[in-house]
Amino acid sequence: MSTFKERLGRLVDPMKNRIDHLIKNYGDVKVSDITISQIYGGTRGVKSLICETSMLDPDEGIRYRGYSLPELIELLPKVEGGKQPLPEGLFYLLITGNLPKDNDIDDIRNEFKQRSTVPNYVFNTLDSLPKDLSPMTQLSMGILSLQGTSEFSKQFRMGRATKDMWEPALEDSLSIIAKLPTIAAYIYRRTYKDGIRIEADPNLDWAANLAHMMGIDDNEVYEILRLFLFLHADHEGGNVTAHTVQLVGSTLSDPFYAFSAGMNGLAGPLHGMANQQVLQWISKMREHFGGGIPDKKQIEEYIWKTLNAGRLIPGFGHAVLRKTDPRYTALREFALENFPEDELFQIVSSLYEVVPDVLRIHGKAKNPWPNVDAHSGSILYHYNIREFDFYTVLFGVSRALGVLSWYVWARLLGATLERPKSITTEYLEGLALKWDDSMSVGIFEIDNDHKAMLEQLKSLIDAYHTGKTDHYIIDLFGFLGRYVEKHLALEEHYMEKYDYPNLAEHRRQHEEFKESCKLLKEEFQTKGGTTRLVILIKQMLVDHFTEHVRTVDKEMAEFFKSVSHVG
């Protein structure tokens, strides 16, 4: 067993002890509230996942194992004469939590090289696909075609203890990362170039070999790919790629299944395609102004044109960050050093100066600053990697470093099957139903009956989610029977007493309500407390409050106030 594996093994027990201590002594400590808007908003911001490899800080951006990106650009090993951090060193940090030394880099490189050979059947699988098939589809299928080599699946079938499955998980993860540059480069060659496969150069590092096998041998391209793959490697555990890999992995699907699933999520236009959208938007802007470099006034005009059409400015804003993305800054510094006169870079720079002020005036963006996607596409474009659909493949190659590091740790820590509880809109509407002064008609007995109905409804909806529906429906129909008999009669008594002019319409609505209650009770007696029945009862009562209690009953009460004291 090699050095970094031994070190990784020694980290397990102390970490498990920390977790066991937390669960045993502080397991009931509340971590996060959740609102209805967060549930419908994709649970954004809800603290409910663990990820030790990275964390997204609203002010400082992504931190890998506690280190900021500027710190790691300085601290991580580099090739001789190079300025950009080696992704191999980042992988060592992500998976061990410690900064690598030179011999650690050699250790990781050797691990990758031992596993870098891609079986011919993978290339045959890719060659069987149409060349115009999405590169992300090809990547996912290429990874999945390797599943038969999974040591994890083999060891599980042989009955290896679950607590020891981290070792074959690590073996598979190293295999995927080692083979990704070869697979990605071949997808690039067959989709966009002559289809001739270029063999890896054993003297090059992981990122440089990707460029070499794509057919690009240029030291600056080697450097930008090192930086690109470093910057996109991880983004804490809640983004679609990371969460998908861990969700699938929680079933004890092997890393090939899990990572392929993550790539399918990355292929979504709301996740991994943003830098393509930035370049497309810039291209349309240039066409709008007849080509060349638009000046800042023209850029501002086009930004407003985009916003007024109800569209977003791609590459600006972020779900968590509230300042300029440090990944953007790192790419900008690279461009300033290597190609400051590039036309596309000058446009990107002008956007950096113009967009935030416009977004602040517009007022809808919580963060008007650029994220990494505002710059990453323009960098690749400068180096003649202009096949936009391939950008997400490069993103995926990079993201493997982070998500597979955490996949291994999830097995080290014995992470359990993820199975959050889902709820229905009916349930949430029940939670949202609360008595407030706007419902009060000012007559004590009537208001009390309305409050009681709300509580009955909330109890029914809650019961539906705890498997006790029949009992609560019986109680609710008992209440409704009394409500129909006494409450509605009470309202009609007051209306008759004070000659309420809308008595006939009010009474008609009462009769409709009684008929609805009767029909629903008959359905319950025939079919029992079905999901459909709960929904129908909920909707009937919500409609009753919305259309009758809040409006018709309020009008009745206002009339009573005008003619006499009613108590």
CATH code, domain carrying 302: 1.10.230.10
pLDDT at position 174, please?
Answer: 98
From the list 104, 107, 325, 373, the catalytic residue is 373
253 and 332 within one domain:
no
- DSSP letter string, 131-172: TTS-HHHHHHHHHHHTGGG-HHHHHHHTT--GGGTHHHHHHH
**Cα–chain center distance at 40:** 13
Q: What is the CATH number of the domain that holds 152?
A: 1.10.580.10
Burial group, residue 424, by CB count within 10 angstroms (0-12, 13-18, 19+):
middle
326 and 220 within one domain:
no
From the list 212, 243, 318, 450, the catalytic residue is 318
Q: What Cα–Cα distance (Å) separates residue 387 from each residue in 134, 250, 435?
A: 11, 35, 58
Per-residue pLDDT reduced to its tens digit, 213-261: 999 999 999 999 999 999 999 999 999 999 999 999 999 999 999 999 9
pLDDT band at 2 (very low <50, low <70, confident <90, very high): low
Beta-carbon contacts of residue 401 (< 8 Å; ≥ 6 apart) = 87, 90, 91, 94, 177, 229, 233, 234
pLDDT at position 184, please?
Answer: 98
- Give CA–CA dist 46/319, Å, rounded: 12
Does the annotation count 382 as an active-site position?
no
pLDDT at position 1, please?
Answer: 46
Does the annotation count 271 as an active-site position?
yes
223 and 202 within one domain:
yes
- Give CA–CA dist 314/294, Å, rounded: 17
Per the listing, tokens 């299944």 go with 257
- What dihedral do alpha carbons 126, 132, 136, 142 form, nearest 10°? 0
- Would 417 be classed as within a structural domain? no
- Would 120 be classed as within a structural domain? yes
Q: What is the CATH number of the domain that holds 508?
A: 1.20.120.50
Write out the H or E segment, with its range, that includes residue 54. Answer: strand 54-57
- Would 420 be classed as within a structural domain? no
Q: Are 153 and 165 in contact (CB under 8 A)?
A: no
pLDDT at position 75, please?
Answer: 97
Rounded mean pLDDT of 471-499? Answer: 87
Question: What token pair was written down for 36?
Answer: 């209805």
495 and 366 within one domain:
no
Measured on CA atoms in the order 141, 143, 147, 149, is the torsion positive or negative?
positive
Q: Is the pLDDT of residue 320 over 70?
A: no
Q: Are 440 and 447 in contact (CB under 8 A)?
A: yes
Q: Is the pLDDT of residue 397 over 60?
A: yes
How far the first Cα of the chain sits from its last, in Å, is: 85
What would you report as the CA-atom Rg of the chain, rounded to the nearest whole angstrom? 31
236 and 90 within one domain:
yes
535 and 458 within one domain:
yes
- Would 495 be classed as within a structural domain? yes
308 and 225 within one domain:
no
Burial group, residue 485, by CB count within 10 angstroms (0-12, 13-18, 19+):
exposed
Rounded mean pLDDT of 534-540? Answer: 85
Q: pLDDT: is 225 or 429 the higher one?
A: 225
pLDDT band at 319 (very low <50, low <70, confident <90, very high): low
Structural domain span for residue 353: 275-382
- 316 beta partners: 370
283 and 264 within one domain:
no
Rounded mean pLDDT of 43-55? Answer: 90
Q: Is the pLDDT of residue 565 over 60?
A: no
162 and 49 within one domain:
yes
From the list 271, 362, 465, 548, the catalytic residue is 271
pLDDT at position 137, please?
Answer: 98
396 and 354 within one domain:
no
Q: Is the pLDDT of residue 295 over 70?
A: yes
Per-residue pLDDT reduced to its tens digit, 544-560: 887 888 888 888 888 88
- Would 234 be classed as within a structural domain? yes
Does the annotation count 234 as an active-site position?
no
Closest CA to 178 of 212, 206, 140: 206
In this predicted structure, which of 2-6, 188-192, 338-342, 408-412 has the lowest mean pLDDT?
Answer: 2-6
Rounded mean pLDDT of 27-32? Answer: 89
- Would 479 be classed as within a structural domain? yes
- Would 7 be classed as within a structural domain? yes
Burial group, residue 417, by CB count within 10 angstroms (0-12, 13-18, 19+):
exposed
177 and 49 within one domain:
yes
Phi and psi at residue 31, to the nearest 5°: -105, -45
Task: Please state the domain count of the chain.
Answer: 3
Q: Are 280 and 381 in contact (CB under 8 A)?
A: no
Q: Are 383 and 226 in contact (CB under 8 A)?
A: no
pLDDT band at 530 (very low <50, low <70, confident <90, very high): confident
349 and 406 within one domain:
no
- Would 418 be classed as within a structural domain? no
- DSSP letter string, 200-262: P-TTS-HHHHHHHHHT---HHHHHHHHHHHHHTS---S-SHHHHHHHHHHTTT--HHHHHHHH
pTM value is 0.87
In the three-class reduction of DSSP (H, G, I as helix; E, B as strand; rest coil), residue 566 is classed as coil
